[in-house]
Amino acid sequence: MFARLATGPACQLPFAMPWQAASRTDTGRVRPQNEDTLLVRPDLGLYAVADGMGGHAAGEVASAIAAETVELQVEAAAQRGEAPHDAAARAVRAANNAIRFEADRDPEKEGMGTTATVLVTVGDDRCRIAHVGDSRAYLLRDGDLHQLTVDHTWVQEQVEKGLLHPDDVRRHPFSSVLTRVLGTEHDVAVDVIDHDARPGDVFLLCSDGLTAVLEDAAIRVVLSRDDPLEERADALVHAALEGGGPDNVTVVLVARLD
Ligand code: CA
């Protein structure tokens, strides 16, 4: 399911619900393959972006395992009558175990890892985000863009310690050094963010192939357009490509309809 969605056209809800989604992923202009995986399951209210890393194509394996594991775990929880969002963090931890299991089985995949930023809608007025790594969740509300997740990166830690100015993060030589990912440690701490949702809100999940190229102000301008959601997803990816497309770029937009 995730593999088809990772390369397919924008996904739109097939039935009337207060949520609508659109997604795009692109290899970019430099990398030979796309190691990002996206997950869109409107029937579960489940959306995710995973950005894999590791040699011998292991990065795309890690991100695919993450998306598949999260999907299966949340689906199984829903089938047991559990609220899908209650399974979100547990599903991300299960993905960590699944990646480690595969890396232990195949030495060529040793050291592979992935980010995971998972959003699960809760009814029509809330959502839960489970997050590890430097993919991000944003919220566009009333024309303002808010970053909801904190990057698990060395530079972000320096910012929080007051040792680095936020404006210097983007160009720092260690900007891509991660402090937390799935697949490299036995246990992983998963950030859980609960947020309300109002009509008109647009949530954005994205890999760093978007945010390394586009400043938040540029993302805000595109997301604020009065265009269909699919066109805004296209425009975000297009802008990253226009900016050089140095990395794989993936966006998932989840809008709370008016
Ligand atoms: Ca990336």
Q: How far is the CA of 166 from the centre of ligand 1 (A)?
A: 20
Residue 6 lies in a domain: no
Query: Is there a domain that residue 53 lies in?
Result: yes
* 5 in any annotated domain: no
| Series of mean pLDDT values for 10-residue runs along the chain (258 residues) | 41 66 97 96 97 89 98 97 96 98 92 97 96 98 98 95 92 92 95 98 98 96 97 98 96 96
Report CA(207)–ligand 1 centroid distance (Å): 6
Residue 57 CA, ligand 1 centroid: distance in Å: 14
Give me the pLDDT at residue 171, please: 86
Distance CA 170, CA 213 (A): 9
**CB-based contacts of 17: which residues, under 8 Å, 6+ apart?**
42, 124
- The count of domains in the chain is 1
**pLDDT at residue 4 in the model:** 38
**Tokens 């699944």, located at residue:** 98
Closest CA to 254 of 41, 72, 99, 66: 41
Find the 209 Cα to ligand 1 centroid distance in Å.
5
Kindly give, in sequence order, each residue whose CB lies less than 8 Å from that of residue 162, ignoring residues fewer than 6 positions away.
Answer: none
Evaluate whether residue 250 is within a structural domain: no
Distance from Cα 184 to the centre of ligand 1, integer Å: 17
Q: What pLDDT is attached to residue 16?
A: 56
171 CA → ligand 1 middle, Å: 15
65 lies in which domain range?
Answer: 11-243
Per the listing, tokens 């944003």 go with: 138
Q: What pLDDT sits at residue 56?
A: 77
Q: What is the pLDDT of residues 36-46, one digit of tens each?
A: 999 999 999 99
CB 50 within 8 A of CB 71: no
Q: How far is the CA of 148 from the centre of ligand 1 (A)?
A: 19
At 24 the pLDDT is 98
Tokens at residue 197, please? 């949702």
Q: Answer whether residue 122 is part of any domain.
A: yes
- Cα 1 to Cα 13, 34, 37, 119, 251: the distances in Å are 15, 17, 11, 17, 17
Residues composing the chain: 258
Q: Is residue 253 part of a domain?
A: no
Residue whose structure tokens are 């978007």: 210
* 125 assigned to some structural domain: yes
Tokens 């997050």: give the residue. 131
Residue 254 is assigned to a structural domain of this protein? no
Ion ligand 1, residue ranges at CB < 5 A: 51, 207-209, 247
Ligand 1 centre to CA of 54 (Å) is: 11
Q: Which of 240, 156, 243 is nearest to 206 (CA)?
A: 240
In which residue are the tokens 């647009």 written? 202
- Say whether 50 sits in a helix, a strand or coil: strand
- What tokens were used for 221? 């301008």
CATH number at residue 204: 3.60.40.10
Q: Cα(212) to centroid of ligand 1, in Å?
A: 9
